[in-house]
């Protein structure tokens, strides 16, 4: 049973009551982070998930269905970078791919038990931002091409095409990575 703002909720009445009491406090940002180093044998690692403040009372080993989409997007899109780098014959030493999404569960409960959700919460997934940090000495143009391909053609990100999405690419060399550590 999910814990929202410190309260375990299971029924429509409990959930709607919580929304009425807490309003916009249930809206927040999920963040899934995928990291892989060169030479890793397994590309499909489980991304780490950071929950919004309203959902932090949930056990870390449980990933609810509405959260799985963030983890799936990070794992799937993140793993595309080393695969495409091999195809384009360039080396990427490290990939950090982050999927951030603003989420508001109130839209799912609109019209139930007399509850009216905010209009902008209708789809629950309000926005998506993806950020790739690539450590590589490959030409910038090739890395930008790989990034564009991932953002525009990844199958899980494609399933989220109805969610407004922004993206960014950050490229650093190994020396820059070591200096930042």
Rounded to two decimals, the pTM is 0.92
- The count of other CB atoms within 10 Å of the CB of residue 8 is 11
Delineate the domains of the chain, giving CATH numbers in brackets. 3-180 (3.30.300.20)
CA dihedral of residues 68, 69, 70, 73 (deg, nearest 10): 120
* φ, ψ for residue 144, nearest 5 deg: -65, -40
Is residue 11 within a helix (H) or strand (E), and if so which, with residue range? none
Rounded Cα–Cα distance for residues 98 and 75 (Å):
9
Cross-strand pairs, 163: none
Q: State the pairing for strand pair 48-50/94-103.
A: unpaired
Q: Which residues contact 37 (CB under 8 A, 6 or more apart)?
A: 93, 94
Question: What does the block give as tokens for 26?
Answer: 């249930």
For residue 124, the 8-state DSSP code is S
Q: Please list the pLDDT of the chain residue by residue as tens digits (181 residues).
A: 899 999 999 999 999 999 999 999 999 999 999 999 988 877 777 799 999 999 999 999 999 999 999 999 999 999 999 999 999 999 999 999 999 999 999 999 999 999 999 999 999 999 999 999 999 999 999 999 999 999 999 999 999 999 999 999 999 987 666 666 6
Rounded Cα–Cα distance for residues 131 and 144 (Å):
12
């Amino acid at each position: 049973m999910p814990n929202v703002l410190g309260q375990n909720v299971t029924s429509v009445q409990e959930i709607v009551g919580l929304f009425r009491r807490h309003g916009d406090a249930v809206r927040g940002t999920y963040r899934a982070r995928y990291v892989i180093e060169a030479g890793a044998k397994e590309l499909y690692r489980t991304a780490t998930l950071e929950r919004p403040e309203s959902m932090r009372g949930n056990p870390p080993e449980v990933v609810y269905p509405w959260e799985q989409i963030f983890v799936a997007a990070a794992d799937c899109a993140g793993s595309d970078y080393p695969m495409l780098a091999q195809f384009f014959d360039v080396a990427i030493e490290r990939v950090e791919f982050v999927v951030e999404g603003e989420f508001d569960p109130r839209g799912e409960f609109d019209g139930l038990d007399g509850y009216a959700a905010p209009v902008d919460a209708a789809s629950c997934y309000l926005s998506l931002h993806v950020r790739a940090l690539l450590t590589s000495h490959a030409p910038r143009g090739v890395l930008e091409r790989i990034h564009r391909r991932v953002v525009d053609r990844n199958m899980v990100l494609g399933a989220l095409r109805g969610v407004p999405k922004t993206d960014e690419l950050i490229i650093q060399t190994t020396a820059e990575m070591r200096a930042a550590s």
